[in-house]
Chains A and B, each alone.
Chain A
């Protein structure tokens, strides 16, 4: 359908639109108009991706600036889904008679795209990357061209010899499409996609290409400033940011980096004896410093790299590491220092500055050269024309640590843990260099791009993200879900049938009465819920202890009578087998329960739609392990820097995970499912208010403080009424709009706004929209309820 939002014609590739999709597009347009950042929360399964794409593409094509869209998603399947939607959208636009050329494409790792006969057989992404580099690096190709017998990649050569812009027409290319073209033209699809990125209208790729400083530097730094950046499924974005700047250093890392250092110095010796000019050239260049980069950044051509801060660019590389052999010696010293640190047998936590002080006392290494470590290493590797870069990974890690520790004295912490777990007796020390501030990694993105949209199904409370990521949002909006029937039923079970309060609170979590009541919830729901049930626990540790106790109490035997039971484990292969069998049991009517962990693989990215998850039970509140030193440090940091109270952040974090888990059950409006919060603490307002609006909206007072038996009674009724046939006709106008509905809504809104303006008070637009929709839905509910009054 085609409709206008404030004068912008929007092409939407479906005949019907959900009201929340329309509202979402309106807010999106506001954000883009204001050239600001936005935080938008929209329920899962309501067509977020398609509304996003159709509005932004319409926006992009309508205005002369043709702002580029960079859409970042989390996993490869999600990227593929988005690309398929985009393709559909563009086809629709074409069928509407629009003559425009839009180039859209997705990018993923070499492992998924490689065509080289032997390299593509490799299983590990890192190995593929390294082997690819060995075949395509500039010096390898030069050597090959000069007649030496060195293997190169024919696909890459073909690409180098042709001009892509002429070869590939403007269209939408999914990952498979690019591979097909690559095959047809004998060109490397990965590099082809990377070259096309710079002039594509729509780019869809993973977060890491934007947030991870190492990768972003290669791929995203040349994206134009006007681009619109979207982070989808962004509820975990702060953790991604933190992980991209955190490092773990263990003994094997240091051993391997020592080896690499030795290898480097050998190469340098060899090169010297050959009398090569290269080392000298390098030295000359270093004296000049990193001026080029500075110029580029000043002219706003490239995105900043958080690992290469501004002030460093103004200076030349310090004298003591300019010479290759000096630098290698320097690295060696630093590496040895780290080794001695790892020998310590008690836990220590320190700030970067105290680490530097200690470093200086022992090894006389100054802060300045450390800062340049990573950059200098890259230059050295290039000069030495080294192959097998993957072997140098550990060394690069050490160098990155050196740079980061010397650059930031705030927002990072070093924790040294001599034992892996509390009970371990054999020391296996880890030096964790933990990033505490999520805003460091994402700062360049916010600085560079004028519109950054953060969106997901679970972002509540919305004001938390601007705080922890340190940006100002022009639009922050959460959309309720309009439904013809209440197709999910959230309920809070606070006590068992014996009235014992249940909670995963530390003091009571192993109390047999609580464990038994958790078990009873599982048994009872197993009896009344058809097909699949997914149950989430706060942690693996807790799940294991509970399952052991259930086994002793005979609860598992009881639950087995109605359903099969599968358990998620930290092992990915094991879990995927369990998931497979779980799905089979749901399909053939046997029914199954899947026990999973709130922060595990199952809770993110795996959908339990329809019969795969008719109910999801959240046992307890998935708080993080609060005794962790890194978490404590992060909380402290948040309190000091962003004025976020520890408790607020912990609850926020726990509830976004809980909401994420419970959201798994509902993927679309024809689906239905139960959401059970099994913990006394969910009944409290401070917890509930942090749940997404679309879930909160359906938590009624009647379902907030239930005992198990009451919950079961409600669940039975719910499942019966949801099984009644649903007609699309009933949804029309309420939770599904046709073009007429959209136009009527726009007219009504306009009138209302005019009236409001006349009265001199401007109401919030959003409220007006939803006031009407809610009332309509209520009326509808009442009508359907009355229709089934039984007269017998």
Chain B
């Protein structure tokens, strides 16, 4: 009996997490569902033709021989975890000093509730996470936010390297108000005007998040797109409703990416794809020396005014060039315009240039070779305990570094590639550069 209830719970769990796929399923009460026998559900299906449209995603799941779904659910989760992992690991030149403007559509179309809770609030929630992650991965880059509604474009925040400013702005109520229709051209022009003053060593990027299907523009938007191309500004687009020609055109012309969000999870994926810096394709061979300051942290005994906000603070960073005090780094000194960073931040950006290579999935037949994850020492599921049938549908959950040939579990794989950016296996071997390029 105990086993039976467990099975039920798992089924219920499966429904709730799959339910994000089709909205209709959310309406189904979990209790009802558990009481209904699967076979009767099958017959119910034939009641209305339109019901078939809403796929019963739980039908896709197959129970293993113990009547448990755990294995399947786990493998699905693992697959999702690893999906973002497999990215390009070629050592190529990437612009790690980035200047990104995010254009947020604040028109009435953003109130639509096809993405829960609504397009707008989901966008703001994701953007907060995005900004934090962006600065974590690109510490010496900058972001600016632009909103567009009622045919106008307005800067929510200026281009700056301080994540807290942006996140604070995103939390402000007045920016959450929507109205009228967006103006893509106005917003692009606004972003362009700020981006053309950016020094040449930094990349110029725009990310457009668009819920509306239309744009009301004062002039010909194709001129604006041509100007963006001229100024080497890359515009990527995430559309929330459908493929709009002008948005697609914008992204293909400026060599950006274009995506339409299928659902909440996909939206997040599309957004986070922007985080790794893009490759530099221009072959302009100029000496790219950038002047930077590495300020020292100072702790004053009495509060002094900071140069950035004009507030009395105790701690801060002192600009090595002009000696003014700033609250946070990375930033640009407000007095002498020197880029201020710290060496750990620079080092962290470095991993984009030499990423850890993708680990290779170990097939079940070779799975017996290792028993535990090299980094967390967790023991792997032994292949002898898993039936052949299940082996065909799941993967072994272990991943191997091609260089040091050490094996890791899924969680460590994700952790190594997302956070650590160094392979522990390679580092533990003497005289071998971690995850680096072998000449």
Give the B-binding residues of A (Cβ under 8 A). Answer: 527-531, 562-563, 586-591, 610-611, 614, 701-706, 710, 714, 716, 719-724, 785-786, 788-792
Contact = CB atoms under 8 A, between A and B. Distances in A.
B242 A589 contact: no
Contacts of A563: 214
Given A786-B60, A789-B21, A705 B244 contact: no
B412 interface: no
Given A589-B214, A706-B50, A789-B18, A610 B245 contact: yes
A789 B22 CA distance: 10
A529 B262 contact: no
B222 A588 contact: yes
B348 to A, nearest CB: 28
Given A589-B245, A789-B76, 13 more contacts: A531-B244, A589-B215, A589-B221, A589-B244, A590-B216, A591-B214, A610-B245, A714-B53, A716-B114, A723-B242, A724-B260, A789-B18, A790-B18
Interface in B390-418: none
Interface stretch (B89-97, B130-138, B263-271): B263-271
A529 B213 contact: yes
Contact of A789 (B60, B184, B216, B243): B60
27 contacts: A528-B213, A530-B213, A530-B241, A530-B242, A530-B245, A531-B244, A587-B246, A588-B217, A588-B220, A611-B245, A701-B49, A702-B52, A714-B53, A716-B114, A720-B241, A720-B262, A722-B243, A723-B239, A723-B242, A789-B21, A789-B76, A790-B80, A790-B266, A791-B265, A792-B17, A792-B80, A792-B265
B299 interface: no
Contacts of A710: 50
A722 B214 CA distance: 19
Given A562-B214, A611-B245, A790 B20 contact: yes
Given A589-B214, A591-B214, A788 B221 contact: no
B311 interface: no
A788 B213 contact: no
Interface in B153-168: none
B244 A790 contact: no
Interface in B199-228: 213-217, 220-222
A564 to B, nearest CB: 9
Contact of B214 (A587, A590, A703): A590
Contact of B262 (A530, A589, A724): A724
B261 A720 contact: yes
Contacts of A703: 53
Contacts of A790: 18, 20-21, 80, 262-266
B110 to A, nearest CB: 13
Contacts of A587: 222, 245-246, 249
Interface in B36-68: 49-50, 52-53, 55, 57, 60
A588 B114 CA distance: 25
Interface string B363-384: 0000000000000000000000
A419 B246 CA distance: 50
B409 to A, nearest CB: 18
Given A719-B241, A720-B262, A791-B80, A591 B18 contact: no
B79 interface: yes
Interface in B263-315: 263-266, 268
A529 B245 CA distance: 11
Given A587-B245, A722-B243, A791 B79 contact: yes
Nearest to B242: A719
Contact of B221 (A528, A562, A588): A588
B262 A721 contact: yes
B49 A705 contact: yes
Interface residues of B, number: 42
Contact of B53 (A702, A705, A721): A702
B247 interface: yes
B77 interface: yes
A210 to B, nearest CB: 40
A528 B211 CA distance: 11
Interface in B89-129: 114
Interface string B225-255: 0000000000000010111111101000000
A692 B50 CA distance: 23
Interface centre among A586, A720, A786, A788 (most CB of B within 10 A): A720
Nearest to B263: A790
B246 A588 contact: yes
A702 B261 CA distance: 24
Contacts of B221: 588-589
Contacts of B80: 790-792
A661 B236 CA distance: 35
B345 to A, nearest CB: 31
Contacts of A701: 49, 52
Nearest to A586: B245
B49 A531 contact: no
Nearest 4 Cβ contacts at the A-B interface: A589-B246, A611-B245, A723-B260, A723-B243
Contacts of A530: 213, 241-245
Contacts of A528: 213, 241-242
Nearest to A614: B242
Contacts of B216: 590
Contacts of B50: 702, 705-706, 710
A790 B241 CA distance: 18
A589 B109 CA distance: 15
A109 B266 CA distance: 56
Contacts of A716: 114, 241-242
Given A528-B242, A529-B213, A589 B49 contact: no
Contacts of A786: 60
Contacts of A588: 215, 217, 220-222, 246
Given A702-B52, A790-B263, A792-B265, A719 B243 contact: yes
A387 B222 CA distance: 55
Contacts of B222: 587-588
A531 B268 CA distance: 25
B247 A589 contact: yes
Given A704-B49, A791-B76, A529 B242 contact: yes
A790 B18 CA distance: 7
Contacts of B266: 788, 790
A791 B77 contact: yes
Nearest to B266: A790
Nearest to B18: A789
A704 B114 CA distance: 24
B266 to A, nearest CB: 7
A704 B262 CA distance: 24
Contacts of A724: 260, 262
Contacts of A531: 213, 244-245
A728 to B, nearest CB: 16
A181 to B, nearest CB: 39
A347 B325 CA distance: 99
Nearest to B220: A588
A710 B53 CA distance: 10
B273 to A, nearest CB: 12
Contact of B49 (A527, A562, A702, A720): A702
B114 to A, nearest CB: 7
A721 B57 CA distance: 17
A710 B21 CA distance: 17
A788 B242 contact: no
B158 to A, nearest CB: 27
B6 to A, nearest CB: 21
Contacts of A722: 243
B264 A792 contact: yes
Q: Which among B76, B245, B246 has the highest number of chain A CB atoms within 10 Å?
A: B245
Contacts of A614: 242
Nearest to A611: B245
Nearest to B51: A702
A210 B245 CA distance: 42
Nearest to A563: B214
B55 A785 contact: yes
A724 B260 CA distance: 7
